[in-house]
Amino acid sequence: MKCSICGRESALEEKYAGAPHSLMSVYNSDHLNLRDLEIYYCSACGHTQIPAHISEEYYEDYSMGSFWGASFKKTREQQMERLATLAPKCERFLDIGCGVGHYLELAKKYFDEVYGVEPSITSANNAREKGYSIINDYFHAGLKFESGFDVISLIEVLEHLEQPGGMFTQAAKLLNENGVMIVEVPNGQRIIEKRLYYNLCTDHIQYFSVTSLVVMAQRAGMYVVCVQEAADPNLLEMYVKKPAKSRSTFSDKRQSALARIISQISPKAKVAAWGAGAESACFLGMLEGKVQIELLFDSDKSKHGHHIATIPIVKPTEEDVGRFDTIILFANAHKRQIQSQLQQLGYTGEILTLEDS
């Protein structure tokens, strides 16, 4: 069969007899429901899949996964904290396949408006009773929302679908610029690597690897922020970001940084810079002929006594820093530390940074 993620040919790896089939049907039944599976593996993206054996309607009364153990809860609390940091704004949050609303409950601590989509009527009603705004439907292109979302979550959803990339791409369309999406799936890579036979079932037809998650995200035009084994190793999690439509060039960014710096320095000011490391040559090249830098301060003893393009590199002392009206920070990575060092040296002049916000 064709790999549902990258489209290459997946090879039949194994015929496996007696996997749990249609998990919901086992409850209150006198018989176990088992089915033989064919396991296909894609060597191009490391994705494993089994042919679909379950009809879509099955999920209209689905309630698996509605109980969260402590380990899953902790993992998801950590996810939410990270999402709030990565999101462009903490305003609109959408959970696709929200179940009874556990993830929305975590989201509402950080986000102003939280929404859910859930095909199971029982779960959707349960979430509505808790006060959440839920669309009881499968997620599809026809669903209408007032506006885009800052964060969208797909928690334990994609492993059930024949075309996970299709839903992922559709969800990405609803994200605002720089909006963030999280995907959490069972750790297919671990299941395959360790041959965790007890994790195979017909409810799960996609077994993702780190690579197949990345391929899916890239095909949808998303930036991958991070893919990893979650705090609970039974889960894989991926954070992606929707790129802004119009992006400035490196040259544009440099030009606007230069214009800003020049506008902040008075013509008669005596100017020094702090930092004689890797970024300094870039900044000196940019400022050359526009801003006269007289000294370069650096905390690294091995650089003292040397110079860059005739500008001496010296140890920062109270006397030397005091001679300048303006000090530009070249060492972006150590900005806070340098600011506090300058304060300790009694510096009261202007401190400018070249770092973008």
Mapped onto helix, strand or coil, the DSSP state of residue 4 is coil
Q: Is residue 164 a contact residue for Zn ion (CB under 5 A)?
A: no
Report helix, strand and coil shares of the chain as percent, to nearest 5: 35, 25, 40
247 CB burial (10 A radius; 0-12, 13-18, 19+)? exposed
- Closest CB 236 distance from Zn ion, rounded Å: 15
Closest residue by Cα to residue 214 from 46, 2, 3: 46
Q: Count Cβ neighbours within 10 Å for each residue of 25-60 and write b for 16 or more, e otherwise.
A: eeeeeeeeeebebebbbbebbbbbbbeebbeeebbe
Query: Please, what is the angle between helix 280-287 and helix 250-264, to 10°?
Result: 70
Closest residue by Cα to residue 152 from 133, 140, 170, 166: 170
Tell me whether residue 114 or residue 158 sits nearer to Zn ion (CB atom). Answer: 158
- Closest CB 212 distance from Zn ion, rounded Å: 6
What DSSP state is assigned to residue 2? B
Tell me whether residue 152 or residue 220 sits nearer to Zn ion (CB atom). Answer: 220
Tell me whether residue 3 or residue 261 sits nearer to Zn ion (CB atom). Answer: 3
Tell me whether residue 167 or residue 175 sits nearer to Zn ion (CB atom). Answer: 167
- Closest CB 9 distance from Zn ion, rounded Å: 9
Query: Quick one: which segment of 2-10, 87-95, 169-177, 193-201 binds Zn ion (CB under 5 A)?
Result: 2-10
Tell me whether residue 47 or residue 241 sits nearer to Zn ion (CB atom). Answer: 47
Tell me whether residue 45 or residue 100 sits nearer to Zn ion (CB atom). Answer: 45
Tell me whether residue 190 or residue 334 sits nearer to Zn ion (CB atom). Answer: 190
Query: Quick one: which segment of 6-14, 113-121, 157-165, 289-297 binds Zn ion (CB under 5 A)?
Result: 6-14
Query: CA–CA separation, 272 vs 311, rounded Å?
Result: 10
The torsion angle over the Cα atoms of residues 25, 30, 36 and 41, rounded to 10 degrees, is: 40
- Closest CB 49 distance from Zn ion, rounded Å: 9
Tell me whether residue 42 or residue 214 sits nearer to Zn ion (CB atom). Answer: 42
- Closest CB 7 distance from Zn ion, rounded Å: 7
Q: Which residues contact 328 (CB under 8 A, 6 or more apart)?
A: 261, 271, 272, 273, 274, 283, 287, 291, 293, 352, 353, 354
Query: Quick one: which segment of 5-13, 30-38, 244-252, 259-267 binds Zn ion (CB under 5 A)?
Result: 5-13
Size of residue set near Zn ion by CB under 5 A: 7
Query: Quick one: which segment of 1-9, 185-193, 255-263, 340-348 binds Zn ion (CB under 5 A)?
Result: 1-9
Chosen residue from 3, 117, 235, 328 binding Zn ion by CB under 5 A:
3
Q: Which residues contact 69 (CB under 8 A, 6 or more apart)?
A: none
- Closest CB 81 distance from Zn ion, rounded Å: 32
What DSSP state is assigned to residue 295? E
Tell me whether residue 126 or residue 209 sits nearer to Zn ion (CB atom). Answer: 209
Closest residue by Cα to residue 282 from 321, 243, 309, 310: 309
- Closest CB 48 distance from Zn ion, rounded Å: 9
- Which 11-70 residues touch Zn ion, going by CB under 5 A? 42, 44-45, 47
- Closest CB 207 distance from Zn ion, rounded Å: 11
Query: CA–CA separation, 44 vs 55, rounded Å?
Result: 28
- Closest CB 159 distance from Zn ion, rounded Å: 15
Query: CA–CA separation, 130 vs 19, rounded Å?
Result: 36
Residues that bind Zn ion (CB under 5 A): 3, 5-6, 42, 44-45, 47
